[in-house]
Amino acid sequence: MSKENQYQQHIHVFRGVAIIFIVFAHTIPSLDWSDWPLTGKLIDAVANQSSIFFFFIAGYLFQHLSARFSFPQYLKQKLLTVILPYLVLSVPALFIFTVLTERTGMWSWFYDLEIWQQIGLFMLTGKHLAPLWFVPTIALFYLVAPLLIWMDRKLPQGYWLILPLLALSTYLGRDGPYGPIDKVIYLFPVYLMGMAFSHYKKVAMSLVMRWWPVLLLIAAASAAGVVFEWSSPPYWHMPMKAALALIITWQLYRHHHVFGHRLDYIAEISFGIFFIHAYFISAIKVLTVYWLHGTIYDGQEHADVPGNLLTFALYSGLVIVFTVYAIRSAKRLLGKKSRMFIGA
């Protein structure tokens, strides 16, 4: 078996890195960065929208494992390991934000609807828990999987669409009135980019090795656009993360031995971390609000803990540790069925 067809350890490590960045991104708003605004903006620029990495990885692995693609089997696996855990792990958030309190950031008319309608919209958009928009969005990719397989095998020239689609995503941004559909349009080019990188592994590696200074310049300029809040459109996260996805894949291919197997477990349970880490962010928020104010967290935005490198490291570190141990406990309890309940 050629090296290109072997297990992709560098992509496995990348998945571990990406999920840590995603936890970082969702931790940032829980801290008050008014005393360290530039630090907060720099961390936010690096960590925010790291789901772009996840979609790149998803596209890469989809193409890499596509030799024996069977659409019915593919859908069955995704229903059991993505959609079912999404339904199960949504229950606490749905109860909280339809019965106990109101979710901030919802449409003005949302809570005039019947509860079953609120639940339906929450499930269709993933807005009931910050990271869960990912599932309705990735589900749309699952539905077009046969078309993507056909393009990869019969019309690989279609990968040239990545360039205009990246420009479109950079112009439109991630959010819009159509929820998951807007996010699919935004993330489609990086999913295709992951597929193309896998399809043309040797060529892609050599191109990135040749052009990495240009990619790094694009990432740095885009990061400046995020930090200094240049006018949008364009939306700078997309070119920054797309360029970094290529550089990170190339560097991890060369140097993943530096990490060894230290991130293997994090990578293995990364989808489970994606599903449940927001609950621990909220749990810590409840405790800190009670500790600082003597009141119960009411679901409104609170950022009372001073934001700096130390508190950020402690907060996000606790979230990762609690999430990992919760998943490990669930896996021991549920055994082989754990993926159907927690996605890991």
* Successive 10-residue mean pLDDT values, the chain, 344 residues: 64 94 93 92 94 96 94 94 92 91 87 94 90 92 96 95 96 88 96 97 96 97 94 93 97 85 88 90 84 63 80 95 93 84 78
DSSP 8-state class, residue 79: I
pLDDT at 2: 45
Question: Please, which residues bridge with residue 306 across strands?
Answer: 32
pLDDT at 296: 64
pLDDT at 269: 92
* Distance, CA of 328 to CA of 290 (rounded, Å): 28
* Distance, CA of 259 to CA of 257 (rounded, Å): 5
pLDDT at 1: 39
As given in the structure block, the two tokens for residue 149 are 């397989």
Dihedral sign of CA atoms 266, 25, 178, 235 in order: negative
DSSP 8-state class, residue 32: E
Give burial (CB, 10 Å; 0-12/13-18/19+) of 145.
Answer: middle
CB neighbour list of residue 314: distance below 8 Å, 6 or more residues apart: none
DSSP 8-state class, residue 299: S
Q: Which stretch of DSSP H or E encloses residue 101? A: none
CA 292 to each of CA 34, 280, 296, 299: distance values in angstroms, whole numbers, following the listed order: 18, 18, 10, 16
pLDDT at 39: 94
Question: Please, which residues bridge with residue 305 across strands?
Answer: 31
pTM here is 0.91
pLDDT at 264: 87
pLDDT at 3: 45
Q: Which of 189, 183, 178 is nearest to 132 (CA)?
A: 183
At 173, give phi and psi (nearest 5°). Answer: 80, 180
* Distance, CA of 111 to CA of 115 (rounded, Å): 8
* Distance, CA of 137 to CA of 125 (rounded, Å): 8
* Distance, CA of 4 to CA of 205 (rounded, Å): 11
